């Protein structure tokens, strides 16, 4: 196998393939048996070194154990020895191979469907259900003719791999990410099913503890969405009808919407033309005796200038709420987003930097009283069972979502690193090849998690169309500033920067598994 040779980097950048190993090639590799086992050993090595994903069906593992054990016994090992050796060798490869998801239903329904070979049918079905770019590694012809790519271990050359390695670019690739976090996601979901503690279960408490540690604050309160996090935070601060909350017009609707839902008035302050975040220099002139909070948004994954905002807030004794729905994991002068204000809110919407598999969110604070209030508001304003000193909402985070988020949190620090590298790579490529495109401006002392990689261009419609033609997805965040949304329409201060940006920004595909080859292609198309 030539993977070790010259093309490592190329290969690393194009690991969109999933090898699925048949039991026979694995048995040969584990027993150093036959003419071709070394090829399989090399392929396993490339999986171990994470150049490519390696998968097996769960029944492959049990049959493999039987095959290896029997072969060892035929080779004069006694029963106990052969069991020990077989399990040790299988455990070793299973430390880097992953098991295809499968439920009892798959095993049983396969009996109604297969024509030639039950096992073959089952593996084919599981592979087709779950893997986008599979190659079955087998010496056996039986897998052929099922619409899958089947290769003999000795066929796998660099050239073949690269030719097979065509993939679609996704705006956010949740499937690929899921395969990275397997099998912990599966294990955690199963635990919730076993325990049936669906509301406020142990996983919620565990997640809150880990997230508070991650961010570096005393309290994390898991809630039902990023939107509800904003609502609960403002309810805890007593914001109500007639109050004013200062915020940015250049954000997702939820920020302004929750202010309005409480009967308060969103006061929109224009954005900084470089960072696209609220301009701290324009906040003070918007403060009145009705101002009850400042609600800045750390847009696209970069924090707001919190030192300046906190200084103003302190002067006027008003709380600050960070909308950190897009910036979870970002840093500001060495501190984490969501640790910098009176209360901070984030979202676990699936496409956010830390996303669940449904709705979810969290509030963060160092303030004990506010934490207690938010916990009560989350459960109908209840302080003990069926006692309700105040009005609240049903705003809990599901145990199932918490379980999924716990599994995804394990890979999150690595994903933040990758996001940063991918963002920096885009910026380098664009600066070099597309002088007419303005990349995100990340300030000194800040790190972005690039919830979106958003560029500023003059000919947005044309570029979107060009990318669409070559199957590169893009999006606009956000085409209409909040002050112009019919639901929130206000006559506001001059909001010229927000106005201009809303007609010029577009976001490129961005997720931790985007490859440099894909990025180069995208930039070439933009050029």
Could you list the residues that contact ligand PLP (CB under 6 A)?
A: 225-227, 251-252, 254-255, 297, 323, 325-326, 347, 349, 359, 361
Q: How far is the CB of 403 from ligand PLP (least distance, A)?
A: 18
Contact 500, 412 (CB under 8 A): no
Q: How far is the CB of 259 from ligand PLP (least distance, A)?
A: 12
Q: Assign residue 93 a region (left: φ > 0; alpha: ψ between -120 and 50; beta: otherwise).
A: alpha
Q: How far is the CB of 168 from ligand PLP (least distance, A)?
A: 25
Question: Which among 287, 284, 245, 302 has a CA at the least distance from the CA of 427?
Answer: 302
Contact 329, 337 (CB under 8 A): yes
Q: How far is the CB of 347 from ligand PLP (least distance, A)?
A: 3
Contact 237, 319 (CB under 8 A): yes
Q: How far is the CB of 227 from ligand PLP (least distance, A)?
A: 3
Using the minimum distance from each CB to ligand PLP, give the nearer residue, 15 or 255.
255
Using the minimum distance from each CB to ligand PLP, give the nearer residue, 52 or 325.
325
The sign of the CA dihedral 362, 368, 370, 373 is positive
Q: How far is the CB of 98 from ligand PLP (least distance, A)?
A: 29
Using the minimum distance from each CB to ligand PLP, give the nearer residue, 139 or 346.
346
H/E run at residue 29: helix 23-31
Question: Which among 220, 218, 229, 170 has a CA at the least distance from the CA of 409?
Answer: 220
Q: How far is the CB of 279 from ligand PLP (least distance, A)?
A: 17
Alpha-carbon distance of 414 to 425, in angstroms, equals 17
**Between vectors from CA 253 to CA 250 and to CA 256, what angle results, nearest 5°?**
80
Using the minimum distance from each CB to ligand PLP, give the nearer residue, 348 or 513.
348
Using the minimum distance from each CB to ligand PLP, give the nearer residue, 325 or 373.
325
Using the minimum distance from each CB to ligand PLP, give the nearer residue, 134 or 361.
361
Q: Reading across the β-sheet that carries 265-268, which strands appear in turn?
A: 265-268, 244-247, 291-295
Contact 278, 297 (CB under 8 A): yes
Using the minimum distance from each CB to ligand PLP, give the nearer residue, 43 or 405.
405
Q: How far is the CB of 71 from ligand PLP (least distance, A)?
A: 53
Q: How far is the CB of 477 from ligand PLP (least distance, A)?
A: 8
Alpha-carbon distance of 92 to 70, in angstroms, equals 19
Using the minimum distance from each CB to ligand PLP, give the nearer residue, 349 or 446.
349
Residue with tokens 């999150």: 412
The CA-atom distances, in angstroms, between 101 and each of 129, 179, 190, 220, 516 are 9, 10, 12, 32, 29
Which residue number has the CB closest to ligand PLP?
A: 226
Using the minimum distance from each CB to ligand PLP, give the nearer residue, 169 or 251.
251
Q: How far is the CB of 478 from ligand PLP (least distance, A)?
A: 9
Using the minimum distance from each CB to ligand PLP, give the nearer residue, 279 or 323.
323
Using the minimum distance from each CB to ligand PLP, give the nearer residue, 269 or 297.
297
Residue with tokens 């949304």: 485
Question: Which among 347, 343, 324, 452 has a CA at the least distance from the CA of 401?
Answer: 347
Question: Which among 283, 234, 227 has a CA at the least distance from the CA of 254?
Answer: 227
How buried is 93 (Cβ within 10 angstroms: 0-12 exposed, 13-18 middle, 19+ buried)? buried
Alpha-carbon distance of 135 to 86, in angstroms, equals 26
Q: How far is the CB of 450 from ligand PLP (least distance, A)?
A: 13
Looking at 187-320, which runs of residues are DSSP E strands?
219-223, 244-247, 265-268, 291-295
The sign of the CA dihedral 150, 154, 155, 157 is positive
Structure-block tokens of residue 76: 């004069």
Q: How far is the CB of 235 from ligand PLP (least distance, A)?
A: 15
Using the minimum distance from each CB to ligand PLP, give the nearer residue, 270 or 359.
359
Q: How far is the CB of 291 from ligand PLP (least distance, A)?
A: 20
Q: Reading across the β-sheet that carries 219-223, which strands appear in turn?
A: 219-223, 361-365, 343-347, 321-323
H/E run at residue 249: none
Using the minimum distance from each CB to ligand PLP, give the nearer residue, 188 or 251.
251
């Amino acid at each position: 196998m030539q993977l070790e040779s010259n093309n490592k980097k190329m290969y690393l950048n194009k690991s969109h393939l999933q090898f699925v190993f048949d039991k026979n090639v694995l048995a040969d590799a584990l027993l150093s048996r036959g003419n071709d086992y070394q090829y399989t050993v090399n392929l396993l090595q490339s999986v171990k070194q994470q150049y490519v994903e390696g998968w097996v069906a769960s029944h492959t593992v049990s049959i493999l154990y039987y095959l290896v054990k029997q072969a060892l016994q035929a080779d004069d090992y006694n029963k106990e020895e052969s069991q020990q050796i077989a399990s040790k060798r299988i455990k070793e490869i299973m430390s880097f191979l992953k098991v295809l998801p499968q439920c009892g239903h798959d095993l049983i329904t396969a009996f109604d469907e297969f024509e030639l070979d039950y096992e073959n049918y089952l593996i084919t079905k599981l592979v087709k259900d779950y893997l986008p770019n599979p190659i079955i590694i087998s010496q056996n012809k039986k897998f052929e003719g099922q619409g899958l790519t089947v290769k003999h271990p000795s066929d796998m050359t660099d050239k073949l791999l690269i030719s097979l390695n065509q993939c679609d670019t996704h705006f956010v690739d949740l499937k690929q990410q899921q395969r990275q976090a397997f099998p912990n996601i599966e294990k955690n979901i199963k635990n919730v099913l076993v325990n049936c503690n669906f509301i406020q279960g142990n996983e919620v408490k565990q997640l809150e503890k880990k997230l508070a540690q991650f961010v570096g604050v005393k309290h994390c309160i898991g809630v039902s969405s990023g939107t509800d996090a904003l609502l609960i935070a403002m309810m805890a601060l007593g914001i109500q009808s007639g109050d004013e909350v200062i915020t940015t017009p250049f954000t997702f609707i939820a920020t302004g919407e929750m202010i309005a839902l409480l009967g308060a008035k969103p006061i929109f302050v224009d954005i900084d033309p470089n960072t696209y975040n609220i301009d701290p220099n324009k906040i003070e002139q918007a403060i009145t005796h009705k101002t009850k909070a400042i609600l800045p948004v750390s847009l696209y994954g970069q924090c707001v200038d919190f030192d300046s905002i906190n200084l103003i807030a302190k002067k006027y004794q008003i709380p600050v709420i960070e909308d950190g729905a897009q910036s979870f994991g970002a840093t500001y002068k060495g501190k984490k987003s969501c640790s910098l204000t009176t209360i901070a809110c984030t979202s676990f919407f699936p496409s956010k930097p830390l996303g669940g598999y449904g709705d979810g969110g969290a509030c963060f604070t160092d303030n004990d009283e506010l934490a207690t209030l938010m916990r009560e508001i989350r459960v109908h304003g209840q302080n003990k069972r069926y006692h309700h000193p105040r009005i609240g909402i049903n705003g809990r985070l599901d145990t199932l979502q918490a379980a999924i988020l716990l599994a995804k949190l394990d890979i999150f620090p690595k994903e933040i690193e990758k996001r940063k590298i991918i963002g920096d790579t885009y910026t380098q490529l664009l600066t070099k090849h597309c002088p007419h495109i303005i990349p995100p401006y990340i300030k000194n002392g800040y790190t972005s998690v690039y919830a979106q990689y958003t560029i500023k261009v003059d000919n947005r419609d044309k570029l979107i169309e060009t990318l669409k033609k070559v199957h590169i997805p893009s999006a606009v965040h956000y085409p209409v500033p909040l002050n112009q949304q019919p639901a929130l329409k206000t006559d506001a201060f001059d909001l010229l920067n927000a106005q201009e940006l809303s007609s010029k920004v577009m976001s490129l595909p961005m997720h931790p598994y985007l490859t440099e080859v894909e990025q180069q292609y995208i930039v070439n198309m933009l050029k």
